[in-house]
Structure 1
Amino acid sequence: MRLPQIQIRTTDIKMNLQIDKPKQHIEQPRAKQTIEQPAAILDINTTRGQLKIDSSQARRDLGLIGPLESGKNYAEKGKRESLKGMARRASEGRQLMESAGKDQGRAPLQSIAKQNHGPKRPGPYNIKFVPSIGSVKIDYTPGKTDINFTPQKPKIDVQVNKPIHKYTPGDVTGTMLQRPDVEIDVIG
């Protein structure tokens, strides 16, 4: 007994596909940023130093004195010299009075004249420092400086921009060039 055979023939489908690829564009704009740094606040307070120099004694040592003090000094010197002159004349008068009538003749007058007009020896020589040491008095009060510093925080302003996203989806179109087919034959 012979069995029938089945013969199957297939024809594949043939397609013509038109494929448009998807398009995507992504752009990220830069953020806008501003940074500002305010200047720090600097406050400086100073009190001045005081320097006091008293040179009045040094000026006196050099002979530089004011008119009132100069007049007073000359009056004192005049008074001393007049008292010294009166004492000398009283002494000379006493010498003349004590030697009068003792047959000395002119001898007392000559001795008085020698006392007043003889060669005088200068006083001892010495070195003198003008102005005297320590005659200038200096007093200094130092000043003071206070510094206050206040830093300022920076001002930062950021504007973030959203990304720009453009998307065109892809597309597939197709036309069938050959239809699929299945043929079945029975051979018997």
Structure 2
Amino acid sequence: MQIPQIRMESQAGRIGLNINKPIQSIEQPQADLSIEQPPAEMTINRQPSRLTIDQTLARENLDLKSVFKRVEENAQLGYQTLMNYISKTVQEGDELMMIENGGTPIANNGVRALEHESVFNTGNTPSQESVKVEYKPAKVDIEWKRNRPNIQVQINRPIHEYTPGPVDVYMQQYPSLKIDFTL
């Protein structure tokens, strides 16, 4: 006995793809940078130096005195001379008052009157200590004010262009199914 048979043949379908590559470009523009540096500010405060030379004592040693100093010295010399004269006159008066004690007081007074000291001063060489020198050095204060730089940055976004690649889909092989009956 023969049994009928069914034969089936199938063929799977296949899809074909044509893929074109996509196009992509990325460009990064440089950032815009602005830098400004303000100059520093400098302030200088200066006190000048001071040199003081006092040569008054040296000039006095050379007998180059000021009018005020001469008046003061002459007043003092006049007073001292007066006091010496009074003392001498009193002493001579005392001697004359005691003439009875003997001696020659009148002749002695005459001789003393002829004895006169004359003083002549040509001046002296001034000593090194007679000139007073005083020096005050200069004082300088410098102040700086530094100014910070002004920096401004503008960031530019990247330029991105993308073109997707087209994909073509097609049937490379169609599916099929064959059925046969055999006895």
Structure 1 partner of 2:20: 20
Quote the Cα distance in structure 2 between the aligned partners of 1:22 and 1:181.
35
The one-letter code sitting in structure 1 at the alignment partner of 2:149 is P
Quote the Cα distance in structure 2 between the aligned partners of 1:54 and 1:141.
14
- Size of the aligned set, in residue pairs, is 132
Corresponding position: 1:132 with 2:153: no
Structure 2 partner of 1:39: 39
Structure 1 partner of 2:51: 51
User: In structure 1, which of residues 139, 143, 156 is the aligned counterpart of residue 151 of structure 2?
Assistant: 156
Q: CA deviation at 1:177?
A: 4.5
Structure 2 partner of 1:173: 168
TM-score, normalised via structure 1 length:
0.56
TM-score, normalised via structure 2 length:
0.57
Q: Which runs of 5+ in 2 are unaligned?
A: 75-109, 112-123
* 1:38 match: secondary structure: coil
Structure 1 partner of 2:7: 7
Quote the Cα distance in structure 2 between the aligned partners of 1:60 and 1:2.
168
Quote the Cα distance in structure 2 between the aligned partners of 1:130 and 1:10.
145
Percent of aligned positions that are identical? 41
Q: Which runs of 5+ in 1 are unaligned?
A: 77-93, 96-128
Cα pair distance change 1:64/1:174, threshold 3 Å = farther
Cα pair distance change 1:56/1:176, threshold 3 Å = same
Cα pair distance change 1:48/1:185, threshold 3 Å = same
In the TM superposition, what whole-angstrom CA distance separates every residue of 1:59-92 from its partner, at most 9, and x where no partner exists?
565x5959x88xx8xxx9xxxxxxxxxxxxxxxx
Quote the Cα distance in structure 1 between the aligned partners of 2:158 and 2:63.
92
Quote the Cα distance in structure 1 between the aligned partners of 2:181 and 2:46.
122
Quote the Cα distance in structure 2 between the aligned partners of 1:3 and 1:152.
108
* 2:177 match: secondary structure: strand
Once superposed, what is the RMSD of the aligned Cα atoms? 3.2
Cα pair distance change 1:134/1:165, threshold 3 Å = same
Quote the Cα distance in structure 2 between the aligned partners of 1:135 and 1:148.
42
